[in-house]
Structure formats: structure tokens, C-alpha cells
Chains A and B, each alone.
Chain A
Amino acid sequence: MTEAQSLSPRVVIGGLLGLTALIYLPALGYGFVYDDGWTLLSNGFLRVPDASLLFSPEGADKHVPDAFRPTLVGLDVLAFRLLGNFAPGHHALSILLHLGVCLLLARWLARLGAGLMLRASTVALFGLLAIHAEPVTVVSFREDLLAALLGLGACTLATRAITRSTRAWAVGLLAAGLAMALAGGAKLSAAALPGLWLLAELLSPWRPRAAWRRIVSGFVVLQGAAVLSAWQTSLVYGSFSPYGADNPRVLATRIGKSPILAESTRIHVDYLSQMVLPFGLSPEHVDRGAQWTDPTVLLATAVLGLLFGVGGWALWRRRPVIAFAVLGSFWLALPTSNLFGMPNMQADRLMYLPSLAVCLGLAALALSMGQRARGSLRMAPIIVLCIVQGAMARAQSSVYASNATMWRVALERAPESARTQAMAGLTLLRQTSGRELPDEDVLGRVSDHCDRALTLDDRYELGHVCHARLALLRKDWATAYRHFERAVELSPDRNDRNLAALAQLSLDLPERDSEERLSLAYGHLARGLREYPYSPEIRVTAGRIAHRTGQPWLALHLYRGARRLRPDRWETVIAGVELALDLGDAAAAQRTWLQAHELIGKADPTTRSAISARIVDLNRLYPAPLLHSLLDPGVFPDDP
């Protein structure tokens, strides 16, 4: 019995999963970053879900986040029911998903007949690959993990099914089809996995090929199921692309496809080099076009052409492992290769699925490099590769520990990105703003970032949002209004906060009379509530304005709605308590204050003291027992 055969596969794979989990364990102490706010924390749809919206154009009209990913939305709804805003729980879920993908990769390779050494090496490399730090550490990027988990599950089920008896074959394929449909519902790029499965079964590197009829039927079921996800996207968005033909965030709509594809050759050589030597990883990359005559583009095209040629040669010369790894990688990279317009040309997370095949290839290469060595040194290449990848994964994961860290690193590694500059400015504002105005040096730095963002790309809305928020701090309402207005014009979505800001600013515009201001404010609110009904921010702002303009019952209705959509915000509770105080209902104010005591504890001391003093004063002037209240049983009756 060889040394490898004396090792239990369960011990080996289990040990490797344990090592992978340890690498990402510190993520349990990280917070929410990046898109977590928009897709999770401020996403009221997760708290009052309506599944029918995910299969109709209303989902797009109402700007439901990730409406074209119903499987992901389903997971997020469940996760929020179980975990609420408990960040460690969400990070643990991401780590478990990643471990699940590693396990299923091992299972599928085992079903295909791959030996333990190759399976273990592939799983070790995939689990520790540094380029995976982004999707594993950022909670809102778990769509990549979920799609891979379900997709690999489908591949494993299909591989098992095609070697079984007729009835078990049919049931197995049905289950595989369901899993693949769910995978496509998590992320559209999973639609490439059936092609990988077909390649694996046709090449059959480690066992005799299954019957042709069985393979063809398996592929038809898997691909048909994957196509369902494209159909669901077309139901919601009216096309197979969720981003729209004229989306300004998709650079191809502005400069054409050819420069994008030219730059994409460099991007993919970058990806490959980072999967071999994990340097140059970044939370942000610059979207730009390139010329096909550019020397680096020519070189990248040659490299990719050579690699593809190697895959073709391997196919011809019956070297199935090489063919599977190379051609499989190309195939899996196709959906995110910028052939189809995407708002981000390059992102580490886009390589999660394609790296399945890349890791197999690298593992096979590392094992073959060690074959000439003796004893334990045979494993040296793969061990060194895994240690280097794991160390960089650990370091790269810490970049996503907080927004401040992430945007600082993005500024160092991608200073030419308009988004990086705008976010750096906005993050600096958040880090320094409190009740006092930050000093001029800080405001100057923020202003520089905002200016740079607009210089790099004046059609990207965040540069204007940066200037708008800076103007708010300086109490320059007209400038803030102008920039928020421009941001809303430029941005195809995520305008709820901008519309809320415009509505509030409308009431303070110096050059307009009061009727005009009110009309403007109501116009912005009407649009915000119509287009973003699941946004707690627009609802609480609408409540504030109704409160301010003498419509208390409308304000109450809106505050209650905002609280249902996002119960973790103390601002909504404070707004409700203030409304009760303005109505003279000390009992309701006090009851609500006590019910939400823990949440109100997160408010700043000045606000807490002011409200507390008002409750005391009102009780002293108009004492009323808690049983007598206009708002019974409190401002928010749904609260426990």
C-alpha cells in the first residue's frame, strides 16, 4: 500500500477544510463593508419579502436589490431571519459556504475517478487561493459561493446519475437540474458549469467514459436548467442582461466593445498570474479600454492564445487532465470575460468559479513538478504554493475588515479609479464627522478626492455624491442640491438616499418660495417612494418631512413603515418619539423609549439627553399615566 493509499480521504479532506476554515476565522470579527449596506442592511425587501416581484418587471421597477438572483435573495431572507444584523453570523455563513464548495469539489473529482493526491491538492489550493479572499470575506458577495456550491452539487449529482440504473438516473438528473437552476438563480455565470461538466464527462480523464446517451441527456438537463436563470432575468429586466443596454456604469456602452475586449486580455492574464503568484490583488480595479495594437495587449493576447493552443494540443494528444484544466478555465471565464457588459470589468470575486479548473491544472502541474524528487520532497511544490496562497489569502482577507481599511488599500492600489477616489472622500467624511465640523485640512482632503473622482470620470455619480455630502457639512444647501440632482441624473439605480437628500434640501433652498420648496420636496419623495418602496431611508425622510410640515398621521404611518423595513436604526425610533412628544403624548413617548431602550443606547449622548429631557418636561407639565395614550400601545405597535 502506498503512503497516499494509507491516508483516509476523510482525514485528508477534513484536515484541509479545517485549515481553510482557520485561515478565514479572523473574518468573524469583521464588520459589514462595501455593498453589504445596499444589499443587506438597508434592504427592506429582506424583511418584508414578496417572491412574486422576483419574477416580474415590478422587481426592477421597485429596485429590489439583486432581483435577478432569486436564490441569493432567498438565502439572504433566511439568513436575516436567523442572524439579523449579527455580522459574525453572516461571516460564518460565508466561510461555511466556501468550505461546502471545497467539499463538493472533492466529491465531484472523486466521482470522476481522480486520485486522492490530485483531489487533495486541488481542494487545498482552491480553499486557500488568495484571489478568493474577496468573495469569502465580503458578506454581500456570497452569490459567488452559493452559485459554486449549488453548481458543483449539480455536477456531482449528474455524474453520479449517469452511471446508475434507469430510474435512479432519471431521479438523479432531476435533482441535478434543480440544483443547477438554483445555481443560476444565485449568479448567472453559473450557466457555464454545464459546459464544464460536459467537458469532464467527454474527456473522462480518470475512469472509462459513460454512455454517450447518458452524457448528452445529462448535459441537456443541466444546460436547460441553467438557461432558466436567463429566462428569470428576462422576466424582471426585459432582457438577458440585468444591467440594461444604456447603463453608464457599463463602460462598453460609452466606448464600445472592442477597447473593452482588448483590455480584457490583460485583465485575464492578470487573473492567471495572481492565481499562480498572489500579488496585485486589490479591492478595486480601474475600468478602462485599450487598443489592440498596444504592446501589452498584444502580449496578453499571445499568452492567452498560447494557453488555448495548449488546451487544443492536449485535446488532440489525449492529455485529458491538461485539456480539462485549460479548456475548462477558458469556458468558465467566458461569462465574466466582458463579452457581456458588466459594471465591473475586473474584480477578484469574478474568478471564483473559473478557478475551479485553474486549481486542478495548477495542482496537477505542481504534483508533476515534484515527481522527480524523492520522499517527502515530492510534495514540496504543491505545499509551497498552498502556503504562499494561504498567507496572501489571510492578508488580503483583512483588507475587507472595515470600509476604512478597504478604501485606504484601494486608494494605494487603484488611485486612478473614480470610484476609489469618491469612496475615499466619503469614508473620510464618515470617519471624521460627528456633531462638530471637521477641520479645514480634513475637508480639503475630502474635496481633493471628490474633485479627482469627477476628473477621472464625470459621468460616475459617486463623485457628485461626494461633493454633495461635503457641501452638506459646510451647510451649503444649494451646492449640495445641485450635486445630488446630478447624481440622480447619472445613476440608473441606488438613488433612494440621493432622492431623500434632495427632498430635505428642497425645504431649505434659499432662492425659492415656500410653495415651490414644498412642491419640489413632495416630488422627490413621491418618486423615491414609488421607485424604492423597500428603502427605509426614503421612508423615514418622508416621515420627517410630513412631521415638519404638519402631517402627523402620515408621518406616523411612514415612521412605522421605515421601522418595519429596518428595525435596527435608532434614528427611526427617535423620530417616532419626537412625533409622540410633538403630539403631547408623553405616555407613548415614554413607552416607546423604554421598549427600544437598548437600541436608543446607540444614539449619540446629545440626542439621547435632549429627548430624555423633553420626555421628563412633558411628563411634568402634563402628567398622564401610561394607560392614557393617543398612540396605544406606543409609536411602533409591532415592536415586542
Chain B
Amino acid sequence: MTRKFLALLVLAGMAIAVGGMACNTGVELDKSDETEGAT
């Protein structure tokens, strides 16, 4: 049962990783290390 559960976790993790990559917006790097407080 433990093995089934761990296998489920691994599968879920892979599904999440694939889904996350599919929905990723793309990352741009900051050229400056300053951050502007905005909230």
C-alpha cells in the first residue's frame, strides 16, 4: 500500500511538472538588482 501511495505521488508530481511547464508564461531575468516597492 505504501508503494502504491509513493507511486501515486511520483505520477502526480510528473503530471504537475508537465502541466506547470505547459502553463508557464516564460521568465525574463532582471538586469538590475533593485526592486520597487509597490503594494
Interface of A toward B, CB cutoff 8 Å: 3, 6-8, 11-12, 15-16, 18-19, 22-23, 31-39, 41, 128, 343-344, 347, 383, 386-388, 390-395, 398-399, 401-405, 408-409, 419, 423, 426-427, 430-432, 462, 494
Known A15-B9, A16-B9, A402-B27; judge A35-B39 contact (CB<8 A).
Answer: yes
User: Interface 1/0s, chain B 1-39, versus A by CB < 8 A?
Assistant: 110011011001101111111111111111111111111
B28 and A408 contacting across the interface, CB-CB below 8 Å? yes
A390 and B19 contacting across the interface, CB-CB below 8 Å? yes
A151 to B9, CA, bound (A): 29
A494 to B35, CA, bound (A): 13
Known A7-B2, A7-B5, A34-B39; judge A405-B27 contact (CB<8 A).
Answer: yes
Q: Which residue of A lies closest to B37 (CB)?
A: A38
Which residue of the partner chain, among B17, B19, B35, contacts A35 with CB atoms under 8 Å? B35
Nearest-Cβ distance from residue A74 to partner chain B, whole angstroms:
21
Cβ contacts A to B, 12 pairs, < 8 Å: A19-B13, A383-B12, A387-B15, A390-B20, A391-B18, A392-B20, A395-B24, A398-B20, A402-B27, A402-B29, A403-B30, A409-B25
B27 and A391 contacting across the interface, CB-CB below 8 Å? no
A405 and B2 contacting across the interface, CB-CB below 8 Å? no
B20 and A394 contacting across the interface, CB-CB below 8 Å? yes
A-B contact count (CB 8 A): 131
Residues on A with C-beta less than 8 A from B33 are: 31-32, 41
Q: Which residue of A lies closest to B8 (CB)?
A: A383
Residues on B with C-beta less than 8 A from A31 are: 30, 33
Nearest-Cβ distance from residue A499 to partner chain B, whole angstroms:
15
A405 and B35 contacting across the interface, CB-CB below 8 Å? no
Which residue of the partner chain, among A23, A405, A408, contacts B16 with CB atoms under 8 Å? A23
Which residue of the partner chain, among A388, A393, A405, A462, contacts B28 with CB atoms under 8 Å? A405
A38 to B35, CA, bound (A): 8
A398 to B28, CA, bound (A): 10
Residues on A with C-beta less than 8 A from B13 are: 19, 22-23
Q: Which residue of A lies closest to B17 (CB)?
A: A394
Nearest-Cβ distance from residue B33 to partner chain A, whole angstroms:
7
Which residue of the partner chain, among B1, B16, B30, contacts A6 with CB atoms under 8 Å? B1
A18 to B12, CA, bound (A): 12
Nearest-Cβ distance from residue A111 to partner chain B, whole angstroms:
23
Nearest-Cβ distance from residue B37 to partner chain A, whole angstroms:
3
Nearest-Cβ distance from residue B17 to partner chain A, whole angstroms:
7
A31 to B33, CA, bound (A): 8
Q: Which residue of B lies closest to A392 (CB)?
A: B23
Q: Which residue of B lies closest to A23 (CB)?
A: B16
Residues on B with C-beta less than 8 A from A398 are: 20, 24-25, 27
B36 and A394 contacting across the interface, CB-CB below 8 Å? no
A11 and B5 contacting across the interface, CB-CB below 8 Å? yes
Nearest-Cβ distance from residue B13 to partner chain A, whole angstroms:
6
Which residue of the partner chain, among B5, B15, B21, B35, contacts A15 with CB atoms under 8 Å? B5
Residues on B with C-beta less than 8 A from A33 are: 30, 35
B37 and A35 contacting across the interface, CB-CB below 8 Å? yes
Among A7, A32, A394, the one with the most B-chain Cβ atoms within 10 Å of its Cβ is: A394
A404 and B5 contacting across the interface, CB-CB below 8 Å? no
A36 to B29, CA, bound (A): 16
Known A390-B19, A398-B25; judge A19-B37 contact (CB<8 A).
Answer: no
Residues on B with C-beta less than 8 A from A18 are: 9
B39 and A430 contacting across the interface, CB-CB below 8 Å? no
Among A3, A128, A392, A403, the one with the most B-chain Cβ atoms within 10 Å of its Cβ is: A403
A404 to B31, CA, bound (A): 9
Residues on B with C-beta less than 8 A from A39 are: 37
A393 to B17, CA, bound (A): 10
A391 and B16 contacting across the interface, CB-CB below 8 Å? yes
**16 further interface pairs, Cβ-Cβ under 8 Å (given A35-B37, A404-B30):** A6-B1, A7-B2, A12-B5, A33-B35, A37-B35, A37-B37, A387-B19, A391-B19, A395-B20, A395-B24, A398-B24, A398-B25, A405-B27, A423-B38, A430-B30, A430-B34
B28 and A391 contacting across the interface, CB-CB below 8 Å? no
B30 and A391 contacting across the interface, CB-CB below 8 Å? no
Known A22-B13, A402-B27, A431-B30; judge A394-B19 contact (CB<8 A).
Answer: yes
Residues on B with C-beta less than 8 A from A395 are: 19-25
A586 to B11, CA, bound (A): 64
Among B20, B26, B36, the one with the most A-chain Cβ atoms within 10 Å of its Cβ is: B36
A179 to B8, CA, bound (A): 36
Residues on A with C-beta less than 8 A from B30 are: 31, 33, 402-404, 430-431
Q: Which residue of A lies closest to B27 (CB)?
A: A401
A41 and B35 contacting across the interface, CB-CB below 8 Å? yes
